[in-house]
Amino acid sequence: MKKILFIRNSSKPIPRIVRMITVAKELGVVCNFVGAKRQKTDLPNETWDGININRVGNYFPLLNGKGLFKLVKGLWAFNVGIFKFLQKEKPKLIHASDYETIMPVLLYKVLYRCKVIYNIHDNLHERYSIPSFIAFLLMHIESLFILFSDITLVPEEFRKISFPKYVRNKIQVIQNTPNAAIAPKNLHRKPDFMTKPKIFYAGWIDSGRGIDALIALSETDLFDVSVAGDGDEALKNRLIATNNIEYLGYLNHEQILEKTNDSDFIYAVYSPTKKINRFAASNKIAESLLLGKPVIVNNEMEISKLLKSYDTCIAIDYEELGKLSVYITELFNSPNDYLSMVCNSKKLYKEHYSWDIVKNKIINIYKELI
């Protein structure tokens, strides 16, 4: 029986990996997720949300951009653990996520011959605020990873064209879209315009995701605000201590979709101070489109161009987030305009992000490699 190892520097698979696993399982392939020990409670082996998880290396915490020495030390142990695990399992197909996992995988590929899918969640040269010549160097380093892999995946076309032309033919776009099979059954939940608008954020909790503005929105007492995810401990504690915010912790994909369906607006803003934020390809976008929820984004995000062209979003400059209350209230107080945006969202989903489109792309990739 065919087997794929999915490797990422996290303790659990995120939605972009889960959808790859879902399609592989439907094709009769055995799937194992190989992750890192990022929480003190992480076990070496467990089953989470129906997925077998193996964790290798030593425990190192979520550092949120701090503690470079701890990061390097943790990644070194993780990469050594990956290579030893590969030698033991002897897989013929490996799915590796981002630069944190690709080097031991490519070493294994050279020594033992296997196929490699390189899934780039965040382009390396766009991740950090660094001088342009260093970004140029990182772009070509990651281009080498692409050349030595069999297929590379990115979530949007604008992520693909940011790489040099000499590697683009090895890159395929697999959009971050939710699996329709686990979507809530009631996809046509009508908003109650007589209540407070419900705003939901799910994702990495970080100062660059507009969390301060979200807390300020909740303090007006004009909105019901819910937050799910993990990240910066200080920010998490602020969310927990804020009376008007419902903090839900870490949710699986199905739970996120249920909460998205029960909300009126999805919050997906990214500080433009980091280049990778301007090129963000958030799962939240397609989830909101599937369920017909207007999404809140900032104008600096590349994806906002597509969203605005379909009139599916509230778009505002990141520095103007303090004015969001006015825009949200105005739209929610105009039911016809709001419901028109709901229809536009579903249209954009059907034309660009539907699960059928994405699933067929993934199936073709597996057929080519297995």
Q: Do domains 3-177+355-369 and 180-352 have the same CATH topology?
A: yes
- Residues 292-313 have a mean pLDDT of 96
**pLDDT one-digit tens code per residue, 182-195:** 777 666 567 888 89
* pLDDT for res 254: 85
Average pLDDT value for residue range 29-38: 95
Looking at domain 3-177+355-369, its CATH superfamily turns out to be Glycogen Phosphorylase B; (3.40.50.2000)
The string of pLDDT tens digits covering residues 346-370 is: 999 999 999 999 999 999 999 999 8
Confidence band for 1, pLDDT divided at 50, 70 and 90 = low
- Domain residue ranges in the chain: 3-177+355-369, 180-352
pLDDT at residue 54 tops 80: yes
In the CATH scheme, what architecture does the domain 180-352 have? 3-Layer(aba) Sandwich (3.40)
Any residues with CB less than 8 A from the CB of 189 and at least 6 apart, and which?
261, 262
pLDDT digits (tens, 9 = 90+) for 122-167: 999 988 888 999 999 999 999 999 999 999 999 999 999 999 999 9
Q: Write down the pTM of the prediction.
A: 0.84
Edge-to-edge strand list for the sheet holding 171-173 = 45-48, 51-56, 30-36, 3-7, 93-97, 115-119, 151-154, 171-173
Structure confidence by residue, pLDDT tens digits, 227-256: 999 888 889 999 999 888 999 998 888 899
pLDDT above 70 covers what percent of the chain? 97
